[in-house]
Amino acid sequence: MTVQLNETHDINLRSWVASANNAETDFPIQNLPYGMFRRQGSNQTFRIGVAIGDQILDLAAAHAVHAFAGYTELQGGHFTAAVNGQNLNGMMGLGAPVWSALRLALSRVLREGSSQQGTLQACLLAQSAAEFALPAQIGDYTDFYTSVHHATAVGKLFRPDNPLLPNYKWIPIGYHGRASSIGVSGQQFRRPIAQTKPPTSETPVFGPAKRMDYELEVGIFIGQGNALGDVINMERAESHVFGLCLLNDWSARDVQAWEYQPLGPFLAKNFASTISPWVVTLEALAPYRLGWTRDAADPQPLPYLDSADLRDSAAFDIELEVLLQTEKMRTDGTPPQRLSLSNFRHSYWTVSQLVTHHTVNGCNLNPGDLLGSGTQSGPAPEEAGSLLELTEGGKKSIALSNGEQRVFMEDGDAIIMRGWAQKEGVARVGFGEVVGTLLPARS
Amino acid sequence: MTVQLNETHDINLRSWVASANNAETDFPIQNLPYGMFRRQGSNQTFRIGVAIGDQILDLAAAHAVHAFAGYTELQGGHFTAAVNGQNLNGMMGLGAPVWSALRLALSRVLREGSSQQGTLQACLLAQSAAEFALPAQIGDYTDFYTSVHHATAVGKLFRPDNPLLPNYKWIPIGYHGRASSIGVSGQQFRRPIAQTKPPTSETPVFGPAKRMDYELEVGIFIGQGNALGDVINMERAESHVFGLCLLNDWSARDVQAWEYQPLGPFLAKNFASTISPWVVTLEALAPYRLGWTRDAADPQPLPYLDSADLRDSAAFDIELEVLLQTEKMRTDGTPPQRLSLSNFRHSYWTVSQLVTHHTVNGCNLNPGDLLGSGTQSGPAPEEAGSLLELTEGGKKSIALSNGEQRVFMEDGDAIIMRGWAQKEGVARVGFGEVVGTLLPARS
């Protein structure tokens, strides 16, 4: 896919939704991410919304008042059904040309001077008055392992003699995760109870996990899928991606260490994963594409994982931040404290490579499937995307500004992740945030 | 759960569906498994069916003619909605008391002398005239590794120095699998193309997998699930299991060997898995329960994986057979050839232990989730549940009766798995079969 900018990316566009023109908003008119919302405390079904400034445009309501009347791609029963969906799966299945037409239509009707302003004003809800659901019904969730920095750091802890396995630089390592326990930002979950084997014990013990951690990831929502047996090749891979979100893949490190061989993590990961409510489309991120290169010492990708576009536009320049908010911080008014700042550009494997690798054997993807990027640690220590790395496997504690200390997570701790893309001469495109809170173990 | 027999298990019961009284049928009136069927070649939606002899009883049709009128558990909107479902998920969610009431009702209306015979005759379709769908919409698929014989044999091949890892006898090892590529018996799938690293090559190569294999497994369908954060303890675990089916977890061994570390199998397994159309309830299997013991040398299970019932009734005495039918056999009329015969009784971990372990950390299960038992190899070499084991890692070829030889699967090979429980003085309870065929790789 060649990345092209169009009128929707113009930095000079302003919206009649005033808050969208604030230079610091995550949701200017150049972004237009999708999510599922309803009025807080109501028991209505969730509806598709588009974030604009501090507001949400109700997409079905906008369609009902003929906001998209001039666009042939946005007519007919399929589109109407998708727009009225109780999740984004229908929209995801419509395909890239429809997503693109809808983005253009949204950009135009939300612009200053649009004749639709009067009608669409009634289709807005303040984000502060909304609650959110998962953007999609996630059929299958796959987690990858694309940060070579994370893989090396974690590998050192689990296998000191053999940190980075020989397959790492050839295969985008991935494994299947649990879809049922994925929740939307605001998810609160109990500290898992499970079997672990402390180094000091001859036999395993049973109890609450002690080494609770987060993982800073980017989530990739699949749009149109592929039939079983078909491959989505590199050239077409991005047209099958609906958009990106933030993903916190919670991990219990002590559980993981004891259970993960030989078939991979299981109870260490499947008790909860949390994603942001907003899905940012690849088109919104077009100005933030970067070339992708391999170090001279690294093997070049096999041809099935290579493409002409790869070199100039395969990576994404997205800042990724993790903050900790302890229970004490909430009480004493200390603001959340940054634990790390990384960037998706450090990923060793690209989004296209993940999609193509996943399907090269004929595995079928469906609209709404979620791929995780794996923990996005950067090369510097302060760019580490997990406590496991920041504390060097639990050996070093982190001093917090209010006098507390942390090695792993304590009950009541909330982890906040934020993501945004920003550079001179281009509108900021943000992901909002994903928050999750660790509750005490079941008693 | 204490296993109790009731009138539905009486070996003397006979059905007015004559073929159900054949001593060799998998589907006597004492079985009554569920599946999703429709008339072959029609494009109607699939409906819930109950196998009886060589026929299928259309459950919604039977309900519509008031076949279950006398049963309070089988009335009301929830039951009617479940019975009319396009998959078994609704029925699975109703819970064990309803399943049990329905089994009793079905047993009575299908018995010789039932006053309903005249009405229900019109609700039958011959199995030979039917086609099948997956019994449930499978939200999440988890595969376990419960045969210590399989784990040891495979471990020897992948890790000669370290065949059985120290966690094996403490934890029911499991990992998440791919739900989207699970198909029903009759599934045909292409030989996967992927990256492998032959021992003779310095770098990986890309092409059709060479070491194609099957895995003989039992599938476990979850009935009622649990909320995120709750555990299903051992005492209640079986009441959350709707029933068992046959499962062939196809595997590409050369892909697996190169990709599986450190996060487990991925492309080696997710291109296809095939299950039988019929789900046999635990109640039907009640006469075939066995005690479960650990060898004196083995560790006793941790308390959360233990229960009073475990000792006398936790295992299932189910014969499991694998047959190979090559393309040449189909042409020259040679019958399919048995490759192995094993038994689910050899499982090191029980169904209850899998359910409890899966949820002990708070992971939520949903109706229709599928757990795989892992390859059910028995202690003897001829009880091995995969070619990998039968051929000692591809070193020994298998001579077929028509002069062909096999090490791993060749294009056109079909694998047929059958399962049944049978003993003196008890009605046979069968699973039918699951068939899958390997097609040539995508060209």
Q: What is the pLDDT of residues B195-210, one digit of tens each?
A: 999 999 999 999 999 9
The answer on whether A38 is annotated among ligand-binding residues is no
Which residue numbers of A are catalytic? Answer: 150
pLDDT > 70? residue A81: yes
Q: Residue A175: list chain B partners with CB under 8 A.
A: 175-176, 263-266
Residues tagged in the binding site annotation of B for Ca(2+): 143, 215, 217, 249
CA dist., res. B240 & res. B439, Å (int): 37
CA dist., res. B173 & res. B189, Å (int): 28
Q: Do the Cβ atoms of A189 and B228 come within 8 Å? A: yes
The answer to whether B270 and B234 have CB atoms below 8 angstroms apart is no
pLDDT > 70? residue A248: yes
Nearest-CA residue of chain A relative to B183? A228
Determine which helix (DSSP H) or strand (DSSP E) holds A416, and give its type and residue range. Answer: strand A414-423
pLDDT > 80? residue A436: yes
A–B interface: beta-carbon pairs under 8 A? 205
CB-CB: which of A179, A260, A265 is closest to B140?
A179
For B300-343, write each residue's pLDDT tens digit. 999 999 998 778 889 999 999 999 999 999 999 999 999 999 99
CA dist., res. B268 & res. B270, Å (int): 6
Closest CA to A57 of A278, A306, A255: A278
Q: Which of B9, B63, B149, B150 is an active site residue?
A: B150
pLDDT > 70? residue B350: yes
Q: Do the Cβ atoms of B206 and A304 come within 8 Å? A: yes
User: Any idea which fold A7-133 has?
Assistant: SH3 type barrels. (2.30.30)
The whole-angstrom distance between A237's CA and the closest CA on chain B is: 17
The whole-angstrom distance between A177's CA and the closest CA on chain B is: 6
Q: Do the Cβ atoms of B258 and A206 come within 8 Å? A: no
The answer on whether A190 is annotated among ligand-binding residues is no
Residues tagged in the binding site annotation of B: 143, 145, 159, 215, 217, 249, 256, 260, 269, 273, 375
Q: Do the Cβ atoms of A262 and B258 come within 8 Å? A: no
For B127-174, write each residue's pLDDT tens digit. 999 999 999 999 999 999 999 999 999 988 878 888 899 999 999 999
Which is the CATH superfamily of the domain at A141-439?
Answer: Fumarylacetoacetase-like, C-terminal domain (3.90.850.10)
Write out the residue limits of the CATH 2.30.30.230 domain(s) in chain B: 7-133
Write out the residue limits of the CATH 3.90.850.10 domain(s) in chain A: 141-439
pLDDT > 70? residue A179: yes
Nearest-CA residue of chain B relative to A268? B361
Query: How much is the pLDDT for B323?
Result: 98
Query: How much is the pLDDT for B294?
Result: 84
As to burial, measured by CB atoms within 10 angstroms (0-12 exposed, 13-18 middle, 19+ buried), residue B14 is middle
Q: Do the Cβ atoms of A364 and B181 come within 8 Å? A: yes
Nearest-CA residue of chain A relative to B154? A262
For A7-30, write each residue's pLDDT tens digit. 999 999 999 999 999 999 999 999
Percentage above 90 pLDDT, chain A: 93
ipTM of the complex: 0.96
Test mutation, B361, B363, B438, chain A, max A CBs within 10 A: B361
Partner residues linked to A35 by β-bridges: A49
Q: Residue A142: list chain B partners with CB under 8 A.
A: 266
Confidence of residue A95 (pLDDT cuts 50, 70, 90): very high
pLDDT > 60? residue B1: no
Closest CA to A214 of A381, A377, A336: A377
- Residue appearing with tokens 């496991």: A388
Q: Do the Cβ atoms of A262 and B155 come within 8 Å? A: yes
Residues tagged in the binding site annotation of B for Mg(2+): 249, 269, 273
Confidence of residue A425 (pLDDT cuts 50, 70, 90): very high
